[in-house]
A and B are shown apart, each in its own frame.
Chain A
Amino acid sequence: MTVPTDLADTVEAHGKAVAAGDNRAVLGDFLPDRIGQLIASADVPVKLKAAAVRTITDVGDDRYDAVIRYTKPDAEWFELRSRWVRFDDGTWRVFSVRNIPDTPPWMDLTGPSPDGLDAPHWDGLRAGELLIQRCAGCGEWVWSPRPICPRCHSFDMHWEIVEPKGTIYSWTRTWQPFTKESTGHLPYIVVLVALPGAGGRRVLGVLADADGVTPTIGATVRGEIQQPPDTEHWPLVRWHLEGQPK
């Protein structure tokens, strides 16, 4: 497997341009139809000391993945993986880019909703449990939470611990930076998980360790409660594939 010489040179120069903060040169390496998406995909500190191309890999279809390690002034480092394609004008351009390893985003719009209906769910996560609403009158599982039971109209709604295990009902891999918090985590996969322990009710969550993974509807997933990075955020269930090889 050989890497085109002009690609190796372009990637080398690109790494140096990123490290030097030469934005004009960096943007010139991007595919022009997705500059905004690419800028907001990778989390890159303002000041960098050095760049080193680690690998360039042929991923087929005339595309190549380059891993570049960037060193911060304090000698800490991080890596970006960019995918390169040949553009109409013959130059190599960045098709997509991401921070590696992949980590799930922490969104600012989190925690109990303004109406408070879902507050026990969030409190449950802090206590290390997945809680889903259930009617004490007829046993109906209710999600998302409601003020009364839609089935029997009981006002006696309570919350039960549910095993965070289920199957993927659907999924989407998001590439577009819809908010600043997603920068550094794109692309990420959100799965809709059907919970057999809650009458098949479905919950949303990020699929962890999903870099390069294309999930399959029906695959088994197991949830783990991940603690937030700070006190502003709430714990979240992150899902892990069990029934599907990488």
Chain B
Amino acid sequence: MNGFRGATAVVGVGTTDYYKRGTSPLTSAQLVLQAILRACDDAGADPRAVDGFVSYGGDSSEGLAIGTALGVNEIRWSTEVWGGGGGGVAAAVNVAAAAVYSGQATCVAVYRGLSEGTDGRRAFAKGHLGHLYSAHGLLAPAQVCALRTQRMLEVDHVPASALEAVALAGYHHAQTNPRAVAYGSPLDHERYHGSRLISEPLRLFDCSRENDGAAAILVVSADRAGDYRGTPAFILAGVQGAAAGWSESTENEEHYSSAGFHPALTQRLWDGARISPSDVGVAQVYENFTGPAVAAMIDHGLCPAGPAAGEFMTVDNLTVGGGTLPINTAGGNIAEGFVHGIGLVVESVRQIRGGTPNPVTGADISLLIGGPMAPLVSSTVFGSPATV
């Protein structure tokens, strides 16, 4: 086993409001800076002591610019995860942990900010789909994920009700999260099915939102976690990457209806954390769209494959207060808000650290699953102090 397990921890989280896209009064960089300052406040950390900066998905705020704007004492680490869009969200956490674990930096901010005013419409999807897609009318990630989801439904016989359960679970949790965009707007079976089709089999409520906003977390060495306020969320394991024959293949990926979390990768995750899937108490599952989220849960062994997925994927089973595996407990990308999935990182940490709108009692293992069906996929396991 490796010494990486529990060697680093998240000691602060910070978020801005979720704004309707195009309405943020702040630029992307200002949103990021506000999120980092709030994370520092949460941790009781001096913002000038942040010495590492990590983002993903083509963030317009480069680490050097952010560090300089913060007036930090020194920048020791500035890295962006290449490619994969939201698939890189957990990878960004892993990169920060690797930097701290290897002594390259001492306090790394992982952040993502989006503002339509700064970045333009659908900035998170820019450059993903080349001409071999676009010429044929495929312009949006929704359409690509729809193709893959359709095969999962039609060939693997995963029931469509599993998709609905992901959407309804997120909306359910958002009703107790006043910060959520869908707060006060509950979703039931009838409203879900009455919603317009986007790209079959995906309906409106199967799709994540687009919001302006930002969030950040602070990663430090576990040895120094006691210097900061609050309960640390220890990073037990992290994985990222793409299997042979998976990435950038214009829909020629092997295991096409999977989410891309191949067996060797998930096994490394569990081995690194020294747990099995059944130990996961709560999971934040990136739902760019509900179909990929279902595939990601199947890939991780959290949910059975094929028709049996329908028995596991029910609103009751996926929600806090009775469910065996609550997911997206602040509402997720679909109901809390979407800033390229960074909100899921914050909620993963809050399930350990406190501050979640829907705490899962006794959950010591909190799983973060990054953007599924993306060219790059990634996951991170967080643990409570009891796990280290």
Residue of A34, A204, A205 with most partner-chain B CB within 10 A: A204
Give chain A nearest CB distance to B303 CB in angstroms.
21
Binds A, one of B55-63, B250-258, B316-324: B250-258
- Interface residues as binary, A81-118 with B (CB distance below 8 Å gives 1, 0 otherwise): 00000000000000000000000110101111100001
Cβ contacts under 8 Å, B201 to chain A? 172
Cβ contacts under 8 Å, A234 to chain B? 135
Give chain A nearest CB distance to B152 CB in angstroms.
9
Residue of B135, B147, B200 with most partner-chain A CB within 10 A: B135
Q: Are A105 and B137 in contact (CB under 8 A)?
A: yes
- Interface residues as binary, B259-271 with A (CB distance below 8 Å gives 1, 0 otherwise): 0000000000000
Q: Are B136 and A206 in contact (CB under 8 A)?
A: yes
For residue B72, CB closer than 8 A to chain A, the reply is no
Q: Are B140 and A178 in contact (CB under 8 A)?
A: yes
- Interface residues as binary, B233-254 with A (CB distance below 8 Å gives 1, 0 otherwise): 0000000000000001111100
For residue A37, CB closer than 8 A to chain B, the reply is yes
- Interface residues as binary, A155-188 with B (CB distance below 8 Å gives 1, 0 otherwise): 0000000000000011111111011001001011
For residue A33, CB closer than 8 A to chain B, the reply is yes
Question: How far, in angstroms, from A182 to B248 measured CA to CA in the complex?
Answer: 25
Q: Are B196 and A173 in contact (CB under 8 A)?
A: no
Give chain B nearest CB distance to A210 CB in angstroms.
12
Q: Are B137 and A33 in contact (CB under 8 A)?
A: no
Q: Which residue of B lies closest to A109 (CB)?
A: B134
Do A205 and B136 contact each other (CB < 8 Å), given the known contacts A175-B196, A190-B143? yes
- Interface residues as binary, A117-130 with B (CB distance below 8 Å gives 1, 0 otherwise): 01001000000000
Question: How far, in angstroms, from A203 to B250 measured CA to CA in the complex?
Answer: 8
The number of chain B residues with a CB under 8 A from chain A is: 35
Residue of A34, A178, A201, A216 with most partner-chain B CB within 10 A: A178
A-side interface size class: 35 or more
Q: Which residue of A lies closest to B195 (CB)?
A: A33
Residue of A33, A118, A172, A203 with most partner-chain B CB within 10 A: A172
Do A190 and B147 contact each other (CB < 8 Å), given the known contacts A169-B256, A176-B140, A204-B251? yes
Q: Are A176 and B198 in contact (CB under 8 A)?
A: yes
Give chain B nearest CB distance to A164 CB in angstroms.
14
For residue A202, CB closer than 8 A to chain B, the reply is yes
20 of the cross-chain contacts (CB-CB < 8 Å) are: A33-B194, A107-B134, A107-B135, A109-B139, A110-B131, A110-B134, A110-B135, A113-B131, A118-B132, A144-B130, A169-B151, A172-B143, A172-B147, A175-B199, A175-B200, A176-B142, A176-B197, A202-B252, A204-B132, A216-B154
With A169-B151, A178-B143, A188-B137 given, name 19 new contacts (CB 8 A): A109-B131, A109-B134, A110-B131, A111-B131, A113-B131, A118-B132, A144-B132, A144-B250, A144-B252, A169-B251, A171-B147, A171-B150, A173-B197, A175-B197, A176-B142, A176-B196, A178-B142, A205-B136, A236-B136
**Top 4 nearest A-B pairs by Cβ distance?**
A109-B134, A144-B250, A110-B135, A172-B146
